[in-house]
């Protein structure tokens, strides 16, 4: 079997009806039952039936993606050897920590609900914004964000998703100015994102503070499998280091390109995305086409993933 890393998607991967044809699996059923108990409402029903307006509420979206991702990973583990490494994109890092035994699943479900609420409340609606910039050099994006920022209105590079695709985040007026600059610089595309909070920038410090406080009341273990964290793009196993990285994650960029490159450099041969909608598979192929790639979101994709790893 190939040496593989399990990777987990973040917010934006959700859709009403996701995992509908996986719900007959007993492991998936049991995982959703755990989530329902932890949250006190029927997350499975919201996932399957919506409406969109409910599933897309940040405090619902985050538990929904976490639960789907953990369910997919548990099914994989019933059929496969363990991965040699784990990583998650933004919210997906929580799924990775559950997979590594760092955080109990029920604690994680409640924690990401709080994370979603804290992110929404950290910046009033309409004050923050995010946008994807395609076709501009990373350093040019960093420099332009610094140039258009003022003392009161700031924008930062927030997600380094693939070579040539960076998401910026910050005060809406500064994001708008930066977008105009990137358009003038010849960007292939400038795409404002439909998000309710400007993630992975210093505006999220109030949310990070709330998260740090909440983590004090949760049992945190050392990782049984190394977790490559967003904030550092390197593997950690010690509980205290992982907590520190999780808090920093809210205010620091997601270094996904470097994460995938580090996994490859450390001997990983394939990446298996556990979760809905194959977003990371697309990113991973653009970062390194030589890595095997698979997604698990139903029984058919599970079989394909096992074939890829054989």
**Which are the catalytic amino acids?**
90, 200
Does a cis peptide bond (omega within 30 degrees of 0) precede residue 51?
yes
Q: Work out whether strand 189-192 and strand 128-134 pair parallel, antiparallel, or are unpaired.
A: antiparallel
Sign of CA dihedral 34, 35, 38, 40: negative
Q: What is the full DSSP assignment across 20-42?
A: GGGTTSHHHHHHHHHHHHHHTS-
Is 158 in contact with 98 (CB distance < 8 Å)?
A: no
Q: How many CA atoms lie within 13 A of 144 on its CB side?
A: 23
Sign of CA dihedral 169, 248, 43, 45: positive
Report the helix count and the strand count for the chain, using DSSP H and E: 13, 11
DSSP 8-state class, residue 277? G
Q: Work out whether strand 128-134 and strand 165-171 pair parallel, antiparallel, or are unpaired.
A: antiparallel
CA 75 – CA 270 distance, rounded (Å):
18
Structure tokens at 102: 């760092």
Structure tokens at 197: 């909070």
DSSP 8-state class, residue 278? G
SS3 266: coil
The residues facing 4 across adjacent strands are 270
Which regions of the chain does DSSP assign to beta strands (E)? 4-8, 85-88, 128-134, 155-162, 165-171, 189-192, 227-229, 234-236, 254-255, 270-274, 292-296
């Amino acid at each position: 079997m190939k040496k593989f890393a399990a990777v987990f998607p973040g917010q934006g991967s959700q859709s009403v009806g996701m995992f509908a044809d996986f719900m007959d699996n007993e492991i998936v059923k049991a995982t959703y039952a755990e989530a329902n108990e932890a949250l006190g409402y029927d997350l499975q029903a919201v996932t399957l039936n919506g409406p969109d307006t409910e599933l897309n509420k940040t405090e619902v979206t985050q538990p929904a993606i976490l639960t789907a991702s953990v369910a997919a990973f548990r099914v994989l583990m019933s059929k496969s050897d363990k991965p040699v490494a784990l990583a998650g994109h933004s919210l997906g890092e929580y799924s990775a920590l559950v997979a590594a035994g760092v955080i109990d699943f029920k604690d994680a479900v409640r924690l990401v609900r709080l994370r979603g609420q804290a992110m929404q409340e950290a910046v009033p609606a309409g004050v923050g914004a995010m946008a994807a910039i395609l076709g501009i050099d990373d350093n040019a994006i960093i420099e332009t964000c610094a140039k258009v920022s003022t003392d009161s209105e700031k924008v930062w590079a927030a997600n380094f998703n693939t070579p040539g695709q960076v998401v910026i985040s910050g005060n809406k007026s500064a994001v708008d100015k930066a977008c105009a600059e990137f358009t003038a610089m010849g960007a292939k595309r400038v795409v404002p994102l439909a998000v309710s909070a400007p993630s992975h920038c210093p505006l999220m410090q109030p949310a990070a503070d709330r998260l740090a406080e909440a983590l004090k009341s949760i049992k945190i273990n050392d990782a049984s499998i190394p977790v490559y964290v967003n904030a550092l793009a390197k593997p950690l196993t010690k509980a205290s280091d992982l907590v520190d990285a999780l808090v920093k994650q809210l205010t620091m960029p997601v270094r996904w390109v470097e994460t995938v490159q580090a996994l490859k450099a450390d001997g990983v041969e394939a990446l298996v995305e556990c979760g809905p909608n194959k977003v990371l598979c697309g990113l991973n192929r653009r970062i390194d086409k030589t890595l095997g790639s698979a997604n698990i979101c139903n029984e058919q994709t599970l079989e394909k993933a096992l074939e890829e790893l054989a």
